[in-house]
Amino acid sequence: MDDIDRHIVTALVADGRMSYTDLGKLIGLSTSAVHQRVQKLEERGVLRGFRAVVDPEALGLSLTAFISVKPIDPAAPDDVPDRLKDLVEVEDCYSVAGDENYILKVRVGTPGELESLLARIRTDAEVSTRTTVVLSTPFEARMRGTTPA
Amino acid sequence: MDDIDRHIVTALVADGRMSYTDLGKLIGLSTSAVHQRVQKLEERGVLRGFRAVVDPEALGLSLTAFISVKPIDPAAPDDVPDRLKDLVEVEDCYSVAGDENYILKVRVGTPGELESLLARIRTDAEVSTRTTVVLSTPFEARMRGTTPA
DNA sequence: GTGGGCGCGTGGACGATATCGACAGGCACA
DNA sequence: TGTGCCTGTCGATATCGTCCACGCGCCCAC
């Protein structure tokens, strides 16, 4: 994991479809060399994969919210993530320190869908919830590939 | 935006480097046809781009936190996102309804870095902060491409 | 009914790219 | 001074992206 690797990672975060040829020219290495490095970065788990970035609005998911979650029975075994993983509306699930146990980020289309999602979360995971609705998203999913430029 | 488009989007979210040839076979269309559709999806902004997914730990960013932010002077003009956009540690910035004005997601390497980041946020944006540290991440950045399977 | 325009998909051809193997240089270590 | 390892270059080949011409079905005007 040297500077060249960091440079590669940065470039691929910016453009995941960049060809190895272009990548090589960009960082001053042959096509094969960058190819080998990318493969090793994937093997080591540094690069987890490549994915398309989709506009949630275009999919009709115009309402984003954070839901803080706390078990109703603190003594019960904690398998909240397991119980929530089938709810496709739940995009992120973080276990956190603090008053609540988990923070979820969810995306739905309408307030009505949010309401029924909350009901499902409460019953499926046996938790109480505190919801914060997102009004706008100044920026999101920025990634510093460790190389500032 | 029909079922075929949704299918394409789903496939590209799962694997952003899938070749047009494979994509065509997968959804039962010729290479050229999927190529045209993907281009239009990009033009329409449904597909915002392609990026590599990086393991933050591999970059030495092992500490994630949410920071809720509230202006010290509620009467001051609200340009918090502008003031924070240069802090590369801030990955997401959401304007939210509720007691606080913004929720930030940040990634740093150490508690010490979090401390100095908080100081910078407070002075740069003239806000008070409430920080929730992430202990673990059961899942993150899931994407429903609208096609359940 | 007929003809034109249009959106969408197909198939082929060409150049570019990914991918693999063989080989060369630098470096640490014995 | 070898020896092994890592890393990069180079070249060959199959595959892929990209572009173009064509065909089909649909809608609408006349």
Q: Give the residues of chain A that fall short of pLDDT 70.
A: 145-149
User: Cβ of A81 and B138 within 8 Å?
Assistant: yes
Q: How many helices (H) and strands (E) does chain A have?
A: 5, 5
Residues of chain A within CATH 1.10.10.10 domain(s) are: 3-43
* CATH entry 3.30.499.10 includes domain B3-43: no
The full DSSP string for B101-147 is SEEEEEEESSHHHHHHHHHHHHHHHTEEEEEEEEEEEEE------S-
User: Cβ of A146 and B59 within 8 Å?
Assistant: yes
- For the stretch B13-45, pLDDT in tens is 999 999 999 999 999 999 999 999 999 999 999
Q: Which chain B residues contact residue A51 at CB under 8 A?
A: 12-16, 50-51, 53, 143
The domain at B56-133 falls in which architecture? 2-Layer Sandwich (3.30)
The most distant pair of C-alpha atoms in chain B lies apart, rounded to whole Å, by 59
The full DSSP string for B35-74 is HHHHHHHHHTTSEEEEEEEE-GGGGT--EEEEEEEEESST
Which residues lie across from A31 on neighbouring strands? none
Closest CA to B115 of B69, B79, B67, B82: B67
pLDDT of residue B145: 54
pLDDT of residue A149: 30
- For the stretch A52-89, pLDDT in tens is 999 999 989 999 999 999 999 999 999 999 999 999 99
Residues of chain B within CATH 3.30.70.920 domain(s) are: 56-133
Closest CA to B141 of A56, A11, A101: A56
Beta-carbon contacts of residue A8 (< 8 Å; ≥ 6 apart) = A23, A27, A34, A37, A38, A41
Strand D atom within 7 Å of A27 CB:
no
- Cβ atoms within 10 Å of B121's Cβ, excluding its own: 25
